[in-house]
Structure 1
Amino acid sequence: MVDNVRDTVSLYLLRLTWLLALSMDKEKRDLAALSQAAGLADNSGVAEGAFPAPSTYQPDSRFVVNNEALLPDIREFLGLWERTFNTHAPDRLVALYTDDAMLHGTSSAKLYIGAKEIGTYFHGSATVKMDVWHSVVLAHNVSLVVGSYVFSQLWKGHQVTTPARFTFVLRRQDGEWKIVHHHSSATPA
């Protein structure tokens, strides 16, 4: 079961990587190198010679963890997401997601597809506090953010905290970051 889930997630990430790069020639090479370096790509279905060999390819300098040029933008967006989540106003939170976004939330096994459906997920009384996170540019106007946050809420008169980890794929649309993909899961004990 675990191998099947891991294979499915790897295939999903590979497909996401290829979809993001379809119309971007230079970004396509950068993403292919990143996918190969992460062990996610075997270039199945890709024409021979379409991408340079990983040993000879030098990725663009933008493709570094915590790219200094984007850190303020990403930090600002994560702060906005946290503040908006804590208002308990799903319509305001959904505005931070693209219309075609996908969400695998912490408290549900369901995959929510589309901003309207994602809005039905955010109905609780928990608050969230961002913790450690890292980001990497995947393509022009597309970034991956991976980190952790802590959910808190009252349950039977006691404050309960749930440490969790998250992955956001962000895309800049009309000058603003929006979430294309959001995955969240409780941090294993």
Structure 2
Amino acid sequence: MKSLHRRGGRNMRFRLWTSALRFVLAGSLLLTGSVASAGPKEDVGAATMRWAQTLGQNDPDKVVLLYATDGVLWGTLSPTVRADRAALRDYFVTAFKVLPGLKVTFGEQLIRVYGGTAVNTGYYTFSYIKDGETKTLPARYSFTFVKDGENWMIVDHHSSAMPASLR
């Protein structure tokens, strides 16, 4: 009788131990899945895509919120550097007026992260509607982001029309 009780005790301890192990493993999987991010490069890429999606909403007030309060824009459509939120807003108001239905599609992106600062350099193509037709404007860009809490904010954005190829 004692051997059955002992075997039952070991069996019970084994079941408790494996259940506890499963619980710990499941909890750690849930924890790492919800807390861990893909990494800073991916976060900067996501911030860049957020800018593209927000630009596509044609709402200057929403776009401006993606820039730091001291953010700077040297835009594709302007000979003037914009260095405060009012000037940024003015740029996007004009851009949405001149390029109705403005959207952007990103090409190659080169993202580098240096602690709380990141740079994303590459090219994108703006599209818009003019006289009922979709037109495009290829451009090159550099975004500089600074980490502010959980968000990557744009502190510097340069964009210029893509030059013709040298022949």
Could you state the TM-score of these two structures normalised by the residue count of structure 1? 0.61
The unaligned stretches of length 5 or more in structure 2 are 1-37
Deviation at residue 154 of structure 1 after TM alignment: 1.3
| Alignment deviations for residues 77-109 of structure 1 (CA, whole Å, 9 cap, x no partner) | 111111000001111111100011110000110
Name the structure 1 match of 2:108.
132
Name the structure 1 match of 2:123.
148
The unaligned stretches of length 5 or more in structure 1 are 1-67
Structure showing greater Rg: 2
Aligned length: 121
Counterparts of 1:114 and 1:101 in 2: how far apart (Å)? 7
Counterparts of 1:177 and 1:137 in 2: how far apart (Å)? 11
Counterparts of 2:77 and 2:104 in 1: how far apart (Å)? 14
Task: Specify the code of the residue in structure 2 equivalent to 1:157.
Answer: G
Which residue, out of 59, 67, 77, partners 1:97?
67
**Where in structure 2 are the equivalents of 1:78-117 lying within 5 Å?**
78-117=48-87
- Judge conservation of contact 1:135–1:143 (CA < 8 Å) in 2: yes
Give the number of the structure with larger relative contact order, counting CA–CA contacts within 8 Å between residues 6 or more apart: 2
Name the structure 1 match of 2:135.
160
- Judge conservation of contact 2:125–2:139 (CA < 8 Å) in 1: yes
Counterparts of 2:71 and 2:40 in 1: how far apart (Å)? 22
Deviation at residue 115 of structure 1 after TM alignment: 2.0
- Judge conservation of contact 1:97–1:178 (CA < 8 Å) in 2: yes
CA RMSD in angstroms comes to 1.3
SS class of match (2:82): strand
Name the structure 1 match of 2:4.
none
Identity of aligned residues (%): 31
Structure 1 residue ranges (4+ consecutive) displaced by more than 6 angstroms after TM superposition: none
**Where in structure 2 are the equivalents of 1:34-73 lying within 5 Å?**
69-73=39-43
Deviation at residue 149 of structure 1 after TM alignment: 0.7
| Alignment deviations for residues 35-61 of structure 1 (CA, whole Å, 9 cap, x no partner) | xxxxxxxxxxxxxxxxxxxxxxxxxxx
Which residue, out of 151, 154, 179, partners 2:154?
179
Deviation at residue 75 of structure 1 after TM alignment: 1.7
Name the structure 1 match of 2:88.
118
Counterparts of 1:127 and 1:92 in 2: how far apart (Å)? 14
Could you state the TM-score of these two structures normalised by the residue count of structure 2? 0.69
| Alignment deviations for residues 125-172 of structure 1 (CA, whole Å, 9 cap, x no partner) | 22111121101123x210111011110111122211011111001001
- Judge conservation of contact 2:117–2:144 (CA < 8 Å) in 1: yes
SS class of match (1:113): coil
